[in-house]
Chain A
Amino acid sequence: MTPHVTRAEVCAVAVAECFRGDGELLANPIGTIPMIGGRLARATFEPDLAMTDGEATLIANDRAVVAPEERVIEYWNPYRSMFDWVWSGRRHVMMGASQVDRYGNQNLAAIGDYARPKVQLLGYRGAPGNTINDPTSYWVPNHSPKVFVEKVDTVTGIGWDRAAALGQAARFVDVRRVVSNLGVFDFETPDRRMRLRSVHPGVSVEDVVAATGFELAVPADVPKSRLPTPEELELIREVIDPEGARERELPDPD
C-alpha cells in the first residue's frame, strides 16, 4: 500500500522544483516548508546549491533546522554578505507574500493606504533589491482572495508588469514561481500573467479559481502537482524534517 502523502510534503516537492536548474547559487527559501523544499532539491537533483542555516552561515547539512554544534559550515555569511550574493545575481530567494497579484507583485509592508495603514506588516525588507536583481519565488501557505489580490496595496517586490515598464533596467528580474497550499503557479504566458501550473492532489481547478481574487490563466489541461518519489519521501521524513515541522506549518486537509 502506498503511504499517504501529506499536502505539506507535496508542497515541499513543489518548492524543490522551483530550484531545479539553478546550479551553484544561493538557494534562500524563507519559511519552514520552503527550507525543507530547498534542502530536498539539494539532497537530490541540485547538489551544488548553497544554503543558509537561517542566520549567519552557509551549511552543508541536509536537515532543515540544525543545532549550532551540528552545523557543517561552508562559509561565514553575516547579513551584510547577503548583498554580495543579491547584487551579483547569485541568489534565488523564496519569500512570503501578504499579498500577491497576477503579475507577481508582492506586498510585505502594509495593508491599506501606506501612509496610514490598516495593518502594518514587516516592512519592505529586502524585497525591492531581491526582485530587481535575482530570481524570486513566493510561498503562500494560506491561499485566499485576501492574499491573491487584483492589485497589491504596496509593491515591495516587483512583478512582471513593473519590470516591463522599466525595460532594460529590469533585465535581471525573474519572478519564477508561486507555491501555495493549493497549487503551483508560474508566469509562462505571453503577457506574463500568472498561470496555474499544477493543482495539488485533492484540490480542483475550481477550488483554486474560487480562492484567487483575479483571473488566472488556466490551461485546458491542468496537471496534478507531482508526488514525492519514495526516495524523496524518506529524505523528507527521516533526514530533512524528522520532527514534522512541515505538518505544523501546513496541517494536512485529509
Chain B
Amino acid sequence: MSDKLMTEEEVVDRLRSGMTIAIGGWASRRKPMSIVRAMVRSDLTDLVIVTHGGPDLGLLCAAGKVRRAIYAFVSLDTIPLEPHFRAARQAGAIEDEPLDEGLFHLGLQAAAWRLPFLPSRAGLGSDLLRDNGRLRTFTSPVPGPGGEDEELVAMPALRPDASVCHLNRADRRGNAMFLGPDLYWDDLMLQAAPSGGRFISAERVVDTADLRGEGCLHQMRISRMMVDGVVSAPGGAHFTQCEPDYPRDEAVQAAYAASARSPEAWSTFRSEWIDIPEAEYQRKVREGA
C-alpha cells in the first residue's frame, strides 16, 4: 500500500524551473502556503503559475520566481488588490496571461478530460481575445440551441506540470477532504496535472478509517487517484483563511502587504517570515510573534 507522506522540501525537489504549476485555494483562502514558502526558499525560477490568485502568486512574484501568471483575478480578500503582484505587473517583471473565471474553469476541465479545448461564449467582444494570445474563436460545427450558427471561444486546456493544494484532512495515501464552505478548483487542478506532479498538504493527516468521521460524506472530494504526495502541514495555509480550522491572520497578511512598499521592507518580511524553517514559522504564529 502506497504511503505518500513527504515534506514540503520533498515536494519542491520534484518541481523544476520553467514548470507550469497550478496552486489551489482562492484569493487569500486555503492556499498551500507552507509549500509556497518552500518554493520561495528554493532555487526554482522561471515558473508559470496558474491560480485564482492571492498571496501565493504575490510571494512568488516578490521572490522573482515567476515568468508568467495565468489568472482571472489576484486579491487578498480583505485587501482588494495584491500589492506584490501589482508591483511585478507595473514593473513589467512578469508575462501576463489573463482569463475569465469561467474560462479558467473550462481550461482545467479540458486538461483533466484530455481534451484540446472546451467551448464558451465568455470572452467574445472583450479585450481578453486581444490580451490572451492563446484564445481562438471558431464557428460551432453543430447548430446552437435555436438552430443558429454559433461563434464561440475555444478555451485551450490548462495543463500544469504540477499542482499543489492545501486541504483540511487527508490520509497518507492521498484521500482528502475540505471542511470549509468551498472546494474551489482544487480537485480539477489535481486532475489536470500529470501523475507524479500532484501534491497536497493537509491540516491533519489521519487514518483512512477515521477520515469519514472528520466531516460529511460530500466533503470527501479528493481521491488518492488524484494525488502523488501528501504533506502533513498543520497551519500550512497560514496566513490565509482555512475554515473551519482557523480564520485569516489579518495582522500577518497586513505585514505581508506592507512589505511591498520597498525592497528593504520586503527583505525584512522575508527574513522574518519566509527564510526560516516551517516549524519555526508555526511556532511564531502560535506565540503571536
User: Which A residues are closer than 8 A to B by beta carbons?
Assistant: 55-57, 78-80, 83, 86-87, 109-110, 114-129, 131-133, 154-158, 162-163, 165-166, 168-170, 172-173
Interface string of B81-114 (1 = CB under 8 A from A): 1000110011010001011111101000000000
User: Which B residues are closer than 8 A to A by beta carbons?
Assistant: 26, 53, 71-75, 80-81, 85-86, 89-90, 92, 96, 98-103, 105, 120-128, 130-131, 148-152, 181-185
Chain B residues lying within 8 Å of A172, measured Cβ to Cβ, are 121
With contacts A123-B53, A166-B124 known, what are 7 further pairs, Cβ within 8 A? A56-B181, A56-B182, A83-B105, A114-B130, A126-B102, A129-B102, A129-B122
Write the nearest CB–CB distance from A154 to chain B, whole angstroms.
Answer: 5
Which chain B residue has the least Cβ–Cβ distance from A156? Answer: B126
Which chain A residue has the least Cβ–Cβ distance from B150? Answer: A169
Would you call A127 and B102 a contact (CB within 8 A)? no
Would you call B151 and A169 a contact (CB within 8 A)? yes
Which chain B residue has the least Cβ–Cβ distance from A154? Answer: B127
Measured CA separation A163–B98 after assembly (Å): 21
Would you call A124 and B126 a contact (CB within 8 A)? yes
Would you call B127 and A170 a contact (CB within 8 A)? no
Chain B residues lying within 8 Å of A121, measured Cβ to Cβ, are 81
Would you call B98 and A124 a contact (CB within 8 A)? yes
Given known A-B contacts A120-B85, A166-B124, A126 and B100 have beta carbons under 8 A apart: yes
Would you call A162 and B73 a contact (CB within 8 A)? no
7 smallest CB-CB distances across A and B, nearest first, come from A129-B122, A56-B181, A123-B73, A120-B89, A158-B125, A162-B125, A128-B126
* 7 contacting pairs across A/B (C-beta < 8 A): A56-B182, A86-B102, A114-B131, A129-B103, A132-B123, A132-B125, A169-B121
Given known A-B contacts A110-B89, A116-B92, A118-B90, A126 and B72 have beta carbons under 8 A apart: yes
Would you call A124 and B183 a contact (CB within 8 A)? no
Given known A-B contacts A55-B181, A79-B182, A129 and B121 have beta carbons under 8 A apart: yes
Would you call B90 and A117 a contact (CB within 8 A)? yes
Which of A117, A156, A168 has a CB less than 8 Å from the CB of B127? A156
Chain A residues lying within 8 Å of B103, measured Cβ to Cβ, are 128-129
Which of A80, A116, A128, A163 has a CB less than 8 Å from the CB of B122? A128
Write the nearest CB–CB distance from A194 to chain B, whole angstroms.
Answer: 17
Would you call B126 and A117 a contact (CB within 8 A)? no
Would you call B90 and A158 a contact (CB within 8 A)? no
Which of A80, A87, A119, A165 has a CB less than 8 Å from the CB of B125? A165
Measured CA separation A149–B183 after assembly (Å): 39
Would you call A79 and B184 a contact (CB within 8 A)? yes
Which chain A residue has the least Cβ–Cβ distance from B180? Answer: A56
Measured CA separation A56–B90 after assembly (Å): 32
Would you call B89 and A129 a contact (CB within 8 A)? no
Chain A residues lying within 8 Å of B150, measured Cβ to Cβ, are 169
Would you call B73 and A122 a contact (CB within 8 A)? yes
Would you call B102 and A125 a contact (CB within 8 A)? no
Would you call A120 and B86 a contact (CB within 8 A)? yes
Which chain A residue has the least Cβ–Cβ distance from B93? Answer: A116
Which chain B residue has the least Cβ–Cβ distance from A87? Answer: B102
Chain B residues lying within 8 Å of A132, measured Cβ to Cβ, are 121-126
Measured CA separation A78–B219 after assembly (Å): 12
Measured CA separation A172–B92 after assembly (Å): 36
Chain B residues lying within 8 Å of A170, measured Cβ to Cβ, are 124-125
Would you call B148 and A122 a contact (CB within 8 A)? no
Which of A117, A122, A166, A168 has a CB less than 8 Å from the CB of B74? A122
Which chain B residue has the least Cβ–Cβ distance from A108? Answer: B73
Would you call A119 and B101 a contact (CB within 8 A)? no
Measured CA separation A155–B101 after assembly (Å): 15
Chain B residues lying within 8 Å of A57, measured Cβ to Cβ, are 181
Measured CA separation A126–B74 after assembly (Å): 12
Write the nearest CB–CB distance from B154 to chain A, whole angstroms.
Answer: 14
Given known A-B contacts A78-B183, A109-B98, A125-B72, A119 and B90 have beta carbons under 8 A apart: yes
Measured CA separation A87–B106 after assembly (Å): 12
Write the nearest CB–CB distance from A136 to chain B, whole angstroms.
Answer: 12
Chain A residues lying within 8 Å of B81, measured Cβ to Cβ, are 120-122
Chain A residues lying within 8 Å of B149, measured Cβ to Cβ, are 168
Would you call A80 and B105 a contact (CB within 8 A)? yes
Chain A residues lying within 8 Å of B125, measured Cβ to Cβ, are 128, 131-132, 155, 158, 162-163, 165-166, 169-170, 173
- Interface centre among A56, A57, A172, by most chain B C-beta atoms within 10 angstroms, is A56
Would you call A80 and B185 a contact (CB within 8 A)? yes
Measured CA separation A163–B124 after assembly (Å): 9
Measured CA separation A144–B204 after assembly (Å): 51
Measured CA separation A110–B102 after assembly (Å): 20
Write the nearest CB–CB distance from B187 to chain A, whole angstroms.
Answer: 10
Chain B residues lying within 8 Å of A166, measured Cβ to Cβ, are 124-125, 151
Chain B residues lying within 8 Å of A133, measured Cβ to Cβ, are 121-122
Measured CA separation A169–B122 after assembly (Å): 11
Write the nearest CB–CB distance from B145 to chain A, whole angstroms.
Answer: 11
Measured CA separation A78–B120 after assembly (Å): 20
Measured CA separation A55–B72 after assembly (Å): 17
